[in-house]
Structure 1
Amino acid sequence: MEIESFRALLTDEGRALLAELREFTPDRELALATRLRRDHPAELVRAAFEQARLRQRARAKFGADADLMFFTPNGVEQATRRSVAEWRAARFAGLGVRRLADLCCGIGGDAIALARAGVSVLAVDRDPLTCAVAAANAAALGLAGLVEVRCADVTEVDTDGFDAVFTDPARRTARGRVFDPEAYSPPLSWALEAARRTPFGALKVAPGIPHELVPEGAEAEWVSDHGEVKEAVIWFGTGAAAPYRATVLPGGGSLSGTGDRAGAGPVGRYLYEPDGAVIRAGLVADVARSVGGRLVDPQIAYVTADELVPTPFAHAYEIGEVQPYNVKRLKALLRERGAGTVVIKKRGIAITPEELRRQLKPSGPHEVTVILSRTDDGPLMMLGQPAAM
């Protein structure tokens, strides 16, 4: 999308077109486009259809706000999910931050959440179209008074006088995802220094960042939403007592710890599958202690316990059968239970759930959860069902 085409969407004519296209479906596109081109410039109609499609995609991240906002293709893909941005904004506000520099702001997802939390934001990006979209989004949601958008190289922005800096470096190029932190734009080393220049700082990084790259004195937070790990953020200035944190949304529960280990033991009545954020943060042992449990294997992220203890940091299963892993025996056990739907979970065993399901050929009215795990005594298969917590 060219910036001139985008600006045309901000006119009364462009906004009217977007309103008409709000619920359009692909099967109607050709006929609808043909009709609209009779009364509107073809380029404006094309831009409106593109924007309407982006808004529909963005609803998964932004909910009802998406129908008021503007997007670019990269913006939809890379923008922070609203629930995650609101969690981070609440943390900043809780730390007393009132003025923040949002570097590499993209289409403004984080800036919007921060402004709604009462934080005044300087949102910076070097791409003119992206900046125009970010400014339009702040205006569309009634937040223009709290969000200043500046088109500039973030490395040249003076952050003196700000309470905090938040940086979300680009981790993609035209060739795809970037895995070397020094190949981020801006590089990780620069972003770390920028985060240290203000009383508080936060830096978004890839969720797979090794723990050894977390700087001394910083806090690394992994955030999941509805069970899916969305991001990792390195925080400065929070005064955290432990270096690692896992946050589970939508509930907002947070668990902090040092990433130490827990002992292993026999499978009890219940098995807990820790949330992905807990696993990334290395806090499986902390979950084990919180439920009075132990690990199934020292290297496997399954926790087992004899009692059911509610926790937001893991899904619990009541286990009815534990045996050494054997496909023929597993098939017989499922047949005995009339299993037609088999949910397969596994760790440390080299088989895909799809491959195993084909071998099992389940048929029956019931659903059974099968959990496979490596242990020091050989692979185990555990049959059970989700436990109500």
Structure 2
Amino acid sequence: MDPAALTQLLSPDGWALLNALPPYDERLTMRIAERLREEGVDAGLVAAALTQSRLRARGRAKFDDFADGMLFTPAGLEQATRLVVGARHGRRYADAGCTHVADLTCGIGGDAMAMSAMGLRVLAAEVDELTAAVATVNMRHFPESQVRHVDAMALDLAAEGVDGVFADPARRTASGRRRHDPAAYTPPLDDVLALREQVPALGVKVGPGIPHAALPEDAEAQWVSVDGDVVEAGLWFGPLAPEGPGRSALVLRGSTATTVRAPGDGVPVADVGPVGAYLHEPDGAVIRSGLVALAAEEVRGRLIDSTIAYVTSDTLATSPVMTSYRVLDVMPFGLKRLRTALRERGVGRLTIKKRGTAVVPEQLRKQLDLRGEGEATIVLTRVAGSQQVIVAEPV
């Protein structure tokens, strides 16, 4: 979206057109565009409105019904925090006693909206002028907060009177490629971390792939998943980390939230042993945080291999941070033997999971030539160092 398109959308006619469009359906887009142009609507406005309609449809995954009243840029939507996670960010600041938070890289305003909805006053800074304008639209319902087009790293935080700082540095290049090196973030992670000397209540959203060796010793590092997808990692300092430094995983599934946490002095080492009657797949946030051993303790389990994040147990004990399966068979990996085993079970619908193997699931599915009405799950992985197949069914 360019400034001219934004200006058109924010005109009374443009805003009315955008909000009058039916729910986005790609199959109908061409027909709607032709009809609107035939009615005399400016072609540029039609294109801008339909683009926003498409982005709003995508934005519902992160913002639910709120997306229907928002504006988006493609890059801003990509990096925006989900509303359910942004609300938890806001809760940290509120619980820490903060009242005025500087969101130094607000993007389209997702986190700033969530924090403002928690009753916090937010100074939302954005260096890109168009994105700042979009954030201003999205923040219109929160008059106590403000969006400012400014390089946030040049702000005088003391003069602004903020008592909390949040940052979500850009982690993609202009071409959309991910930046995995924290030094390549915009702004660089070290520059953001230095701000905790001015404002101890600092929170920073980082990529989930951040190496543990790069974590500051005084941070609570928390990985967050939503309905099975790892969406972010966050670094929290000072009063935002009331339990002190360490690593944690926050698993959000539906309306439930479960936290697994290890203090800063380390994580226990999990036992390793043979595959038992049950197999447990830890949530991705638990795996990324390196806390599989704690999850294994919860189900009285052990790892099937010292390098693989699958847990096994002899008796059934479930956990909200793991998906559990009943083990039906375990065998060395071999196409002929696996095909025979599945045909004997009449398996025609197969879920293929893999970890620690180079097998391509879709290629394997074709080679298995599945037949039958039954359903099963197979796990291709290493067990005690060797390639194995575990045939299982969900508990």
Global fold match (TM > 0.5): yes
Distance 1:30 1:373, change over 3 A: closer
Other structure's SS at 2:157 match: coil
Residue in 1 that maps onto 2:63: 62
Once the two structures are superposed, what CA deviation does each residue of 1:95-138 show, in whole Å capped at 9, x if it has no partner? 22221110110000001111111111110001111111111111
Q: How far apart are residue 196 of structure 1 and its match? A: 4.3
For 1:142-221, what aligned pairs fall within 5 Å after superposition?
Answer: 142-143=141-142, 145-160=143-158, 161-175=161-175, 176-221=177-222
Residue in 2 that maps onto 1:288: 296
Q: How far apart are residue 345 of structure 1 and its match? A: 1.4
Residue in 2 that maps onto 1:36: 36
Range that drifts further, 112-121 or 352-361? 352-361
* Aligned counterparts of 1:242 and 1:256: Cα–Cα separation in 2: 10
Other structure's SS at 1:171 match: coil
Residues 305 and 385, structure 2, Cα contact 8 Å, conserved in 1 = no
Give the TM-score normalised by the residue count of structure 1.
0.94
* Aligned counterparts of 1:377 and 1:246: Cα–Cα separation in 2: 27
Range that drifts further, 160-169 or 374-383? 374-383
RMSD across aligned positions (CA): 1.7
Whether 1:248 aligns to 2:251 is: yes
Other structure's SS at 1:44 match: helix
Residue in 1 that maps onto 2:98: 97
* Aligned counterparts of 2:31 and 2:371: Cα–Cα separation in 1: 46
Other structure's SS at 2:218 match: coil
Q: Out of 352, 355, 368, which is 2:360 matched to? A: 352
Once the two structures are superposed, what CA deviation does each residue of 1:220-247 show, in whole Å capped at 9, x if it has no partner? 1111111111111111111334511111
* Aligned counterparts of 2:277 and 2:36: Cα–Cα separation in 1: 63
Range that drifts further, 54-63 or 114-123? 54-63
For 1:292-303, what aligned pairs fall within 5 Å after superposition?
Answer: 292-303=300-311
2:285 maps to amino acid: A
Range that drifts further, 24-33 or 364-373? 24-33
| Percent identity (aligned) | 46
Other structure's SS at 1:84 match: helix
Give the TM-score normalised by the residue count of structure 2.
0.92
Residue in 2 that maps onto 1:332: 340
Residues 244 and 259, structure 1, Cα contact 8 Å, conserved in 2 = no
Q: How far apart are residue 352 of structure 1 and its match? A: 1.7
Gaps of 5+ in 1: none
* Aligned counterparts of 1:333 and 1:350: Cα–Cα separation in 2: 21
Q: How far apart are residue 293 of structure 1 and its match? A: 0.8
* Aligned counterparts of 1:101 and 1:249: Cα–Cα separation in 2: 26
Matched positions, count: 384
Residue in 2 that maps onto 1:7: 7
* Aligned counterparts of 1:244 and 1:366: Cα–Cα separation in 2: 41
Distance 1:22 1:68, change over 3 A: farther
